[in-house]
Structure 1
Amino acid sequence: MTSREDAGAVVAPSEYVGRYPILDTAREQVLDRGEGLSEAQILEILRLPDEAIPEALQLAHEVRLKHCGEDVEVEGIISIKTGGCPEDCHFCSQSGLFDSPVRGVWLDIPELVKAAKETAATGATEFCIVAAVRGPDVKLMNQIKFAIDRITAEVEINIACSLGMLTQRQVDQLTEWGVHRYNHNLETARSYFPEVVTTHSYEERLETCRMVKDAGMELCCGALIGMGETVEQRAELAAQLAALEPDEVPLNFLNPRPGTPLENQPIMDGKDALRAIAAFRLAMPRTVLRYAGGRELTLGDLGTRDGLLGGINAVIVGNYLTTLGRPATQDLNLLVELNMPIRELQKSL
Structure 2
Amino acid sequence: MPPLITREEALQLGELEAPADIEALVERAWAARLETFGDSTDLCSLVNAKSGGCAEDCGFCAQSRFAEAETPMHAMMEPEQILEHARAAEAAGAHRFCMVTQGQGLSKRDFEKILEGARLVSQHTNLKRCASVGHMSVARAKQLKDAGIQRVHHNVETAESYYPEVSTTVRYEGRLRTIDAVREAGLETCVGGILNLGESREQRVEMAFQLASINPTSVPINLLNPRPGTKFGDRDLMDPWEVVKWIAIFRLILPEALFRLCGGRTENLGDLQQLAVKAGLNGVMMGNFLTTLGNTPSEDRAMFENLGLNIARHADNGANPRPDNRSGWLDGETPDVIEEFLDTRADAENAGIEIQLWDPASQLRYAKKGAKVPPRPDGAPNRWPQGTRPAEPAVTSGMPFGH
TM-score (structure 2 length as normaliser): 0.76
Say whether 1:318 aligns with 2:297. Answer: no
| Alignment-derived partner of residue 348 in structure 1 | 319
Q: Percent identity?
A: 33
2:190–2:217 CA contact under 8 A, matched in 1: yes
Amino acid at match of 2:4: G
Say whether 1:257 aligns with 2:227. Answer: yes
Say whether 1:134 aligns with 2:134. Answer: no
Amino acid at match of 1:129: M
TM-score (structure 1 length as normaliser): 0.87
2:93–2:297 CA contact under 8 A, matched in 1: no
1:281–1:311 CA contact under 8 A, matched in 2: yes
Matched residue pairs, number? 316
Cα distance in 1 for residues equivalent to 2:70 and 2:42: 32
Aligned equivalent of 2:299, options 320, 324, 330: 330
Cα distance in 1 for residues equivalent to 2:178 and 2:207: 17
Deviation at 1:278, TM superposition (A): 0.7
Cα distance in 1 for residues equivalent to 2:306 and 2:227: 33
Say whether 1:195 aligns with 2:147. Answer: no
Distance 1:49 1:103, change over 3 A: closer
1:39–1:238 CA contact under 8 A, matched in 2: no
Secondary structure of the residue aligned to 2:71 is coil
Say whether 1:49 aligns with 2:17. Answer: yes
| Alignment-derived partner of residue 40 in structure 2 | 71
Deviation at 1:334, TM superposition (A): 2.4
Secondary structure of the residue aligned to 1:73 is coil
| Alignment-derived partner of residue 89 in structure 2 | 119
Q: What are the Cα deviations for residues 44-100 of structure 1, in whole angstroms up to 9, with x where unaligned?
A: 221123231011000000000001221111111111100111111100001112112
- Stretch of structure 1 that moved more, 141-150 or 219-228: 141-150
Aligned equivalent of 2:8, options 6, 21, 40: 40
| Alignment-derived partner of residue 22 in structure 1 | none
Secondary structure of the residue aligned to 2:280 is coil
Deviation at 1:336, TM superposition (A): 2.1
Deviation at 1:117, TM superposition (A): 0.6
Say whether 1:91 aligns with 2:60. Answer: yes
Cα distance in 2 for residues equivalent to 1:289 and 1:152: 24
Query: Of the two, which has the highest radius of gyration?
Result: 2
Secondary structure of the residue aligned to 1:143 is helix
Q: Supply the RMSD in Å over aligned alpha carbons.
A: 1.5
1:40–1:235 CA contact under 8 A, matched in 2: no
Q: 1:135-284 to 2 correspondence within 5 Å?
A: 135-284=105-254
Deviation at 1:154, TM superposition (A): 1.6
Q: What are the Cα deviations for residues 124-177 of structure 1, in whole angstroms up to 9, with x where unaligned?
A: 221000000211221111111111122222212111000011122211211222
Amino acid at match of 1:54: E
Say whether 1:61 aligns with 2:66. Answer: no
| Alignment-derived partner of residue 382 in structure 2 | none
Secondary structure of the residue aligned to 1:210 is helix
- Stretch of structure 1 that moved more, 142-151 or 43-52: 43-52
Q: Which runs of 5+ in 1 are unaligned?
A: 1-32
- Stretch of structure 1 that moved more, 209-218 or 178-187: 209-218
| Alignment-derived partner of residue 24 in structure 1 | none
Aligned equivalent of 1:291, options 241, 254, 261: 261
Distance 1:214 1:37, change over 3 A: farther
| Alignment-derived partner of residue 29 in structure 1 | none
Cα distance in 2 for residues equivalent to 1:41 and 1:170: 40
Q: Which runs of 5+ in 2 are unaligned?
A: 321-403
Distance 1:171 1:34, change over 3 A: closer
| Alignment-derived partner of residue 105 in structure 1 | 74
Q: What are the Cα deviations for residues 251-304 of structure 1, in whole angstroms up to 9, with x where unaligned?
A: 110000121110001111112111101100000111101011111111112x10
2:116–2:147 CA contact under 8 A, matched in 1: no
Cα distance in 1 for residues equivalent to 2:7 and 2:154: 22
1:57–1:310 CA contact under 8 A, matched in 2: yes
Cα distance in 2 for residues equivalent to 1:297 and 1:129: 24
